[in-house]
Structure 1
Amino acid sequence: MAGHSIPHFQNDNGYRVIEIGVKEFMCTGASIPFDHPHIFIDMGSDSEKVCSYCSTLYRYNPSLHGDATQPPGCTFAFEAA
C-alpha cells in the first residue's frame, strides 16, 4: 500500500479527547490488532465528533496541521509488510 491521503488517528492511550487539525479523517480505534473497523468521519460544520465505535471525542483545532494531534502521538501509521 502506498499510503493514504486521509489522515488516520488512533487512541492507544484511551484519551477522552483528541484535538486534530482536519475535519475529515479516519478513526482506527487503537493500533493493530486492537483496532476497530477504520471509519471515515466528517465533522462538516461542527467542531467535534464522537467515534461511534470507540467513543473518542475528536475536536477540531485549526492551529494543528496535517496529521498533528494534541496530545501528540495519536496518528495511525501503516506499517510496510
Structure 2
Amino acid sequence: MADKGTPHFHNDPGVPVIRVGTKELMCIGATPPLDHPHVFLDMGTDQEVICSYCSTLFKYDPSLRVTDAAPAECFWENVAPSGP
C-alpha cells in the first residue's frame, strides 16, 4: 500500500460503525475544515479499531476494496482544486 498512500475515512454521517476494506487507515473525523488531527490506525491482527479522537469504530471487511467503505460516502479523497 505504500505506493498508493494510506486511505482516509471520515464520519460525517455520524454512523456508529464504518466497515472498511483495509486494516491500515487514517481517520479524519469529519471532512475539512471540521476534521480532527488525522490519526493513523492499524488493526494488526484484530478485526476492528476505535479512533481515539472521535470514537468511530472501524471494522475490517475483506469483501471491500482498500478504498471502499460502508457507508460508501465515508471514504475521503483529498482532491486538490485545479489551478489556472
TM-score, scaled to structure 1? 0.91
> Residue in 2 aligned with 1:22?
22
> Residue in 2 aligned with 1:68?
68
Distance 1:50 1:66 in 2: 18
TM-score, scaled to structure 2? 0.88
Matched, 1:46 2:46: yes
Distance 2:34 2:79 in 1: 15
Other structure's SS at 1:73 match: helix
Other structure's SS at 2:72 match: coil
**Structure 2: gaps (5+ residues):** none
The sequence identity of aligned pairs, in percent, is: 51
Count of aligned positions: 78
Distance 2:79 2:71 in 1: 22
Letter in 1 for 2:67: D
Q: Which runs of 4+ in 1 moved over 6 A?
A: none
